[in-house]
Amino acid sequence: MSKYTSEHYPEPALEEFRQFRAWVNDPHEYGRAWKERNDGGVVAFFCTYAPRELVYAGGLLPVRAYGGHTASEIAESDRHIYRGMWCPFSRDVLSQGLLGKYDYTDGIVMASTCLHLRQTYQSWSENVSEEGDFQHYFMMPHGAQQDGGVEFLASKLRETLQAVADYTGKEVTEDDLWEAIEVYDENRRLLREIYEFRKEDRPPISGLQALEMVKSSHIADPAEHNELLRSALAKLEDYDGPRRDPDYRLMHISSENDDRRFMYLVEEDLGFDVTVVTEEACVGTRDFWNTTTDTYADDPFMTLAERYLERPPCPNKDWPYRNRMDQISMLADEFNVDGAVLIAQKFCDPHLLDIANERDLLEDEKDIPTLELEFDASVPIGQFKTRLQAFVEQLQTDAVDMEALY
């Protein structure tokens, strides 16, 4: 049996992280159980730009639809999405829907972000959704820095909340929305507070555990997730358990990446003491680094719109100024990064558009070596292992003062 399965991953010292792992191991079991417990509906979303607060305010649980990372399953979507140029994540997610893995969900919601996930939404709507399901697609500004964006998005969020109310048949008030905003804000604040511990020389949590923590925030009821985060935070503040002791601190900069096998490979199977200490990714800091502000304190829609447009952006929303580069630079500095792995899903236009600038920033301006990897639905362990080992060896060489040797 392959060691690249969760039962072989090092067990987290904290029970809260063991629970995060359990939710990630079987998100569908969680979703079904949540429905039973709450007598509510579950709505799948495809991209972290879909404001979960609106769905949650209506008493529904938003869960992010993820791929299965299995080469045999991803082919299921070939009849619907052109595999020759659509990213593996978008195809894998649709495949999971077509295979019935999300048959307990009651609908889908999508904000207009990348074209790849729009295709997934459209094909899911046509081929997976059933009559009566909640289906809502709305326009989300790409010009996050443009004048008028907050007002425009707020208008779309109002329509979306009304769509939720129409679906549930229950009134959803602004107070309901404020409550949902507070729950998600707290979730994001807590995640960021826990990330502070990853800055330590000997971090108490691994990159794999951090990935499971963030990914589970897209699966679990945020109120329940917050309880665990609060508990974990309390323990981490007075922590005397096992720690990582990295010789090499890496970050990854990714389009969608929730691949635990990759994280296990990097941290446990290269033959070096490597820890992934942070990431600039949507299953990571891009999703939770900011919360709402009180700029529009009397209007929950404007408040929410501002938070989504001010969040660390996906590349296709990052223009004319390159805010992402500032964010990447800040993360690399604060988490004391030795090297960066630049990950793009095959055919991911937004991230391929930025990757040259990421490389220039890190290599030329910050003297941080980079390695580019192209992700497919499943990670080619052998090939990646060789490349990552060579990359870490390069970091080792760079660490030696070559001039002093001669």
Partner 1 sequence: MSSTNQVQEPESDGNVYDEQLEMYPEFNRYQYGFYKDFAEADGIKWAGGGWSYEAIPEGLGDDVYFLAGEPYGAVVAYNEEISRDFLNAADAKGLSSDLCGYMVNYWGGLTQNKYVLPDGTVYDQFPDVDFNVNSHICCTHAKWYQKAGELEAVYTDPNGEQTPFFGVDIIGGPNAYDDEDLIEYNRVQIEQMIDWIQEVTGRTFDDARYIKAVKNEMWTMSTWAKVCALQKAHPAPLEERRMFSLYAPSIARRSTDEAPELYARLLEEVTDMVERKATVSGRQDFRFISDSPPPWAHLDIYRYIRDEYNAVSLGSLYSWGLTGAWRGFDGGDEWDWTPLDTPMERGIEIEDRDTAIEEMIKWNMRRPAWNVFGGHLEAKQKVTLAMAEEFDVDFVLMHLNRGCEGWALNQVEVSNYLKDHGIPVLEYEGNQADQRDFDPSKLRQKIDMFMEGRFNA
Residues that bind partner 1 (CB under 8 A): 79-82, 84-86, 112, 114-116, 118-119, 121-123, 125-126, 137, 139-143, 146-149, 151-152, 155-156, 315-316, 319-320, 322, 346-347, 349-350, 352-357, 359
| Closest to partner 1 by CB, 15 or 360 | 360
Cα 112 to chain centroid, rounded: 17
Is the omega angle on the peptide bond into residue 27 within 30 degrees of 0, that is, cis?
A: no
Residue nearer to partner 1 on the CB measure, 96 or 112: 112
Kindly tell me the sign of the dihedral angle through the C-alpha atoms of 124, 127, 128, 133. positive
CB closer to partner 1 out of 65 and 140 = 140
Kind and range of the H or E run holding 230: helix 222-237
| 366: DSSP letter | S
Q: How many residues are present in the chain?
A: 406
**Structure tokens belonging to residue 305:** 């719109």
Is the torsion defined by CA of 210, 214, 220, 224 positive or negative?
Answer: positive
Beta bridge partners of 111: 138
Identity at 266, one-letter amino acid code: V
Query: Prior bond to 320 cis, omega within 30?
Result: yes
Burial of 79 (0-12, 13-18, 19+ CB in 10 A): exposed
Q: Which amino acid is at 268?
A: E
Which of 119, 217 has the CB closer to partner 1?
A: 119
CB of 168 to partner 1, least distance (A): 24
Complex with partner 1: residue 79 or 170, whichever CB lies closer: 79
Q: Could you tell me the smallest distance in angstroms from the CB atom of residue 323 to partner 1?
A: 12
Q: At closest approach, how far in Å is the CB of 159 from partner 1? A: 9
Which two three-digit tokens encode residue 59? Answer: 């008493």
Cα–Cα nearest to 251, from 298, 303, 199: 199
CB 309 to partner 1: min, Å: 11
- The CB-of-317 to partner 1 minimum distance in angstroms stands at 9
Q: Residue 243 burial by CB count (10 A; 0-12/13-18/19+): exposed, middle or buried?
A: middle
Residue type, 320: P
d(CA 17, CA 2): 23
- Mapped onto helix, strand or coil, the DSSP state of residue 128 is coil
Report d(CA 67, CA 260) in Å as an integer. Answer: 12
125/231 with CB nearer partner 1? 125
Give the shortest CB-314-to-partner 1 separation in angstroms.
9
The CB-of-300 to partner 1 minimum distance in angstroms stands at 17
81 or 213: CB nearest partner 1 = 81
**Is the distance from CB of 290 to CB of 188 less than 8 angstroms?**
yes
Q: Which is nearer to partner 1, 261 or 351 (CB)?
A: 351
Shortest CB 52 distance to partner 1, Å:
21
Task: Supply the minimum distance, in Å, between the C-beta of residue 43 and partner 1.
Answer: 19
Shortest gap between Cβ of 180 and partner 1 (angstroms)? 23
DSSP letter (8 states) at residue 117: H
DSSP state of 316: G
Q: Which is nearer to partner 1, 355 or 368 (CB)?
A: 355
Residue 151 or residue 247: which is nearer to partner 1 going by CB?
151
Nearest to 155 by CA among 302, 298, 53: 302
Q: How far is CA 5 from CA 69, 111, 274, in A?
A: 12, 33, 19
Q: Closest distance between partner 1 and the C-beta of residue 102, in Å?
A: 19
- Tell me whether residue 198 or residue 324 sits nearer to partner 1 (CB atom): 324
